[in-house]
Amino acid sequence: MRRLTALILTLILIAAACVAVTGCTAMEEEDRFLVGVIYLDNSRATAGYTYSHHYGLTKAMIRAGIPEEDLIVEDNVPGTEEDASKAIDRLADAGCDLIIGTSSEYESAFVKAADKYPDIMFAHATGSSSNDTNLVNYYGRIYQARYLAGIAAGYKSLEIEDNNIGYVSAWGTGLAETCADINSFTLGVRSVNPDAVIYVKVINSWGDSKLERTAAVELIDSYGCKLISQDCDSALPQTVAQERGIYGCGYNSDMSDQAPDAHLTAPVWKWDVYYQYILETAMNCKPSEFASKAGNYYGSLADGFVGLAPITENCTPETEEAIALAADLIRNGQWDVFTGTALEFSGEAGSVSVSLIEKPLTAADGTVIVPAGGASVDDETISHTMDYYVEGVVEVG
């Protein structure tokens, strides 16, 4: 018995020595879940699209119990298939279990990578491609939040007695995402100020700061715009508004720090809502069943996936009340933006009311998109094929 006890003790000591020398790294490595992410811009940005993704992802990782060191970042990756594929290869070589791409421009690279790396899970934002095993896509109804921001802009245009509103757009009608954003913002503005005109300057880039700035200046100087909105990535249009003493609605993140005297509010993504879901799903399934368990995602205001940045003191007194009324209608499923029913607001602060008016949804060229009282434009059109402006939009050269 003594010899048996001594033998057991010896084995315990040997095992302890193994831990001390090797740290049992093999077991620790098996337990780690490595996440890779590809960004268009710098992950250390303080505002805008990449900033909002990185903030949401790191927040979700904390909730999912994934340590910071298990996130591997590839940032400043241009939106080409070649560059995205190289970034994916680097993340795969690093041992990532899940690879996230934050731009539709990476879509073709992700489709090919999913076939190339069947043991890795892939999720890409704002695209449309997926498969039956290891690739999903995710996006959301940011147009709903964009409409709410339009309400704020509409009230401000009435207060300053100027109907000219500028809009710096990445792609205009060239991409359904930006086209729907412009249209929903315009409908929100005109629910308050039906005489407002939205002048759109397209820069054909998500994140060219020089072009963003130049476009905002042109809208102010050439078209007399006293309020600037945007769907491009950085805060440059808002800083121009700040410098010129006018007002603006940003995008992706709260831009009041960059333009404290100008900023009204901004449509924002709550990326952490999705990232927590996808991280926890990926951690508890095999790559071959990832797509069936996670599914593709199209979040909304009701999900808390999209929303507004805080409404600042630069807004009029009626703004918050009117936005709350519209948001409730959207969240409850009683109304949505691209239907044959329009919202109209009336009343002073403290007694704002909203009316639902059957009214055709009309394109800028007079074409009726949805007849009065008609159902919403379908999701596929809103997210992937919309290529027309609504009444009130003017694209400038």
- Of 296, 298, 305, 299, the residue nearest 136 (C-alpha): 296
d(CA 177, CA 254): 20
d(CA 211, CA 362): 31
One pLDDT digit (tens) per residue for the chain, 397 residues: 434 334 433 443 334 443 343 333 332 445 799 999 999 999 999 999 999 999 999 999 999 999 999 999 999 999 999 999 999 999 999 999 999 999 989 999 999 999 999 999 999 998 889 999 999 999 999 999 999 999 999 999 999 999 999 999 999 999 999 999 999 999 999 999 999 999 999 999 998 999 999 999 999 999 999 999 999 999 999 999 999 999 999 999 999 999 999 999 999 999 999 999 999 999 999 999 999 999 999 999 999 999 999 999 999 999 999 999 999 999 999 999 999 999 999 999 999 999 999 999 999 999 999 999 999 999 999 999 999 999 999 999 9
The model's pLDDT over 68-106, given as tens digits with 9 standing for 90+, comes to 999 999 999 999 999 999 999 999 999 999 999 999 899
Angle at 38 between CA 35 and CA 44, to 5 degrees: 95
Where does residue 5 rank: exposed (0-12), middle (13-18), buried (19+ CB within 10 A)? exposed
- Domain 32-141+270-299 matches domain 142-268+306-396 at the CATH topology level: yes
CATH of 142-268+306-396, one of 3.40.1190.20, 3.40.50.720, 1.10.260.40, 3.40.50.2300: 3.40.50.2300
CATH of 32-141+270-299, one of 3.40.190.10, 3.40.50.1100, 3.40.50.2300, 3.50.50.60: 3.40.50.2300
- Of 278, 309, 317, 315, the residue nearest 296 (C-alpha): 278
Structure tokens at 40: 């268009």
Helix (H, G, I), strand (E, B) or coil at 346: strand
Q: Which amino acid is at 190?
A: R
Helices 142-159 + 319-331 axis angle, to 10? 160
